[in-house]
Chains A and B, each alone.
Chain A
């Protein structure tokens, strides 16, 4: 299980690195698909079919839109000469990653072993959610009952995204 996950994650890292360095933008877009679809398999392995369904559909739709955009505009990557600003950005991001890695290593030492369900809140949810919400699918029960605000926020974000796309595209289309 952990070995399969490690292989999948290594595959995802390879795909991401290839997507950055690909000369052709179409192949870069398609290799980002590797990351998304490997994530679907990882969700299935970790027994989260709810997430896997959402991830596979959204990944496919976004890939279609990205491929359409690349085919419509250009397949060549922009050539940008590195200057002082880009070098300072690289140095800053390396420092930031090192600091984050330092604290992540300290934080993971405090956590339970991989796959241990000993979180206090999670146990309460798993034991009582079916009785309290009346829904057998615990994920839906938690999403719409205990964590109703989360769901409302997500729906509002989608609404705002659609509103933003409509507004931005309408102005440009009119001129």
Chain B
């Protein structure tokens, strides 16, 4: 896959950082405003895909990136499971219990364990979509050779 023209490259450089920040905002404010782990993760993956489409697959070292994304995907879903299991050791008898203190309604640090779940689900979704996209791109490159 070849990269696109210089205009597309510059615009992608300018925009992708903003899209990435917006995705992080959606994830971390998941318990306050619409959105959450799934929406924010998909937006972060969109920022990565925009960069890969604009700069082409030759410019970036895709194989290493794919290893990193699949590793972070596996780690993130493992941590989500561990967060859910951790409640059992603390003393609540419910899987997926909200064991941290609830805090003030409407503050950023509130809602107990929900922001933590949001963050790791966001990492999981972003890494999964990037991994699928990278696998398709690498497959295409390998078939061409």
Give A residues with C-beta under 8 Å from B.
49-50, 53-54, 57-58, 60-61, 64-65, 72, 130, 133-137, 139-141, 143-145, 148-149, 151-152, 154-156, 158-159, 161-162, 165-166, 169, 172-173
Q: Does the CB pair B110–A134 fall under 8 Å?
A: yes
A166–B143 Cα gap in the complex (Å)? 15
Which B residues are CB-close (under 8 A) to A162? 70, 73, 127-128, 131-132, 135
Which A residues are CB-close (under 8 A) to B89? none
Determine the main DSSP class of B at the interface with A.
Answer: helix
B32 in the interface, Cβ–Cβ < 8 Å?
A: yes
Known: A133-B114, A139-B34, A152-B81. A169 touches B98 (CB 8 A): no
Which B residues are CB-close (under 8 A) to A61? 42, 45-46, 49, 129, 133
B residues 29-87 in Cβ contact with A at 8 Å: 30-39, 42-43, 45-46, 49, 53, 70, 73-74, 77, 80-81, 84
Q: How large is the interface on B (under 10, 10 to 19, 20 to 34, 35 or more residues)?
A: 35 or more
A155–B77 Cα gap in the complex (Å)? 7
Q: Does the CB pair B131–A133 fall under 8 Å?
A: no
- Closest A residue to B142 using CB positions: A173
A143–B36 Cα gap in the complex (Å)? 10
Which A residues are CB-close (under 8 A) to B31? 134-137, 140-141
A140–B139 Cα gap in the complex (Å)? 36
Q: List 14 A-B contacts (CB under 8 A).
A: A50-B36, A54-B42, A61-B46, A72-B140, A140-B36, A141-B111, A144-B96, A144-B113, A152-B84, A155-B77, A158-B124, A162-B132, A165-B131, A172-B139
Which A residues are CB-close (under 8 A) to B98? 133-134, 144-145
B8 in the interface, Cβ–Cβ < 8 Å?
A: no
Contacts between chains A and B (CB distance < 8 A), count: 138
Q: Does the CB pair A65–B133 fall under 8 Å?
A: yes
Q: Nearest Cβ in chain B — how far from A139, in angstroms?
A: 7
B17 in the interface, Cβ–Cβ < 8 Å?
A: no
A151, A152, A162: residue with the most chain B Cβ atoms closer than 10 Å: A162
Which B residues are CB-close (under 8 A) to A65? 133, 136
B32, B53, B95, B135: residue with the most chain A Cβ atoms closer than 10 Å: B135
Q: Does the CB pair B84–A148 fall under 8 Å?
A: yes
10 A-B pairs with least C-beta separation: A148-B96, A134-B102, A135-B31, A49-B34, A135-B111, A57-B42, A134-B111, A53-B39, A169-B139, A173-B142
